Amino acid sequence: MRVAVIPNQKVDKMQEICGQVIDTLKEFGAEVETPNGDASFLSDEAATCIANCDVVVALGGDGTMIHIAKIAAPFGKPVLGINCGHLGFMPDLEQDELHLLKALIDGAYTIEERMMLEVTVNDGTPMLALNELAISRTVLKPMATVHIQSGGKPALDYQADGVLVATPTGSTAYSLSAGGPVIDPSVQCLLVTPVCPHALTARSYIFGADEELSLTVSNAHPDAVFYTLDGTVGASLTEKDTVMVRRSQTCARFINIKSRAFYDVLKHKLIDRAVTK
């Protein structure tokens, strides 16, 4: 088995951690490929490693895993995360569980597919998001109104600091912080959550996974509104722009060795941590 080990070099002691992972994988009989030196996990070199492998091991936190999974998804490569961050909600293994990598080499794991979003701006090049599309106001700029259509028909209007269109995976990220619901990742849907809305009645809405949403803004000052995908890859929006969001035909694929139930992870990582702090 050929394994691509993709580290986030910005993590403390990553060189040491990466060396331990590579040594462990080789001990279990894997061929290992990794980007040279200080190459970013978002680099073309990392993408080449991913394309040439059978499976991917991502070293970092949740953000690292999300971005590596987006690179791996078009190649159909499954990703195993090893938590080197703080929360570690998405990675399957912790740093003290490297002995479980033998199950990866033995094929003793399951693969979970997660839906992604396909986002286009003004019929431009389609872009992928695993967590969410965010439309937000710039700091110190007034609120704008975001208009949402579903299937070409008016559905929602929000005057707010921003609006999120999230996947079930993204329901435990930015959307959760904005007051949105937790959605089991096995559910297929589009979650719309307003960020700091200027109305007591403004709430999250869940659309079917086959809906196509269209978002436009009004009452926007110049350079006051912008969009981002999973916290990166953004640009400003004007009242002439249209953002289209729908379910992508490409899925992110995650390797599960420990076979943890989603609600067990939710309780351990998000609920119990909050109670004990």
Pairing of strands 127-129, 110-121: antiparallel
Write down the catalytic residue from 44, 54, 62, 210: 62
CA angle 77, 257, 105 (to 5 degrees): 65
CA nearest to 5, candidates 80, 61, 74, 67: 80
How many CA atoms does the CB half-sphere of 237 hold within 13 Å?
28
For residue 100, give Cα distances in angstroms to 92, 178, 254, 262. 10, 36, 16, 19
Look up 62 and say whether it is catalytic.
Answer: yes
For residue 108, give Cα distances in angstroms to 24, 59, 103, 136. 16, 20, 5, 43
How many residues are given for the chain? 277
The residues facing 214 across adjacent strands are: 149, 244
CA nearest to 21, candidates 94, 86, 77, 106: 94
CA nearest to 71, candidates 39, 100, 96: 39
- State the burial class of residue 186 (Cβ atoms within 10 Å of its Cβ: 0-12, 13-18, 19+): exposed
Q: 133 is written with which tokens? A: 């599309």
Q: What are phi and psi of 131, to 5 degrees?
A: -95, -65
Helix, strand, or coil here: 28?
A: coil
Instruction: Please check whether residue 177 is in contact with residue 196, taking contact to mean a CB–CB distance below 8 angstroms.
Output: no
- Catalytic site residues? 62
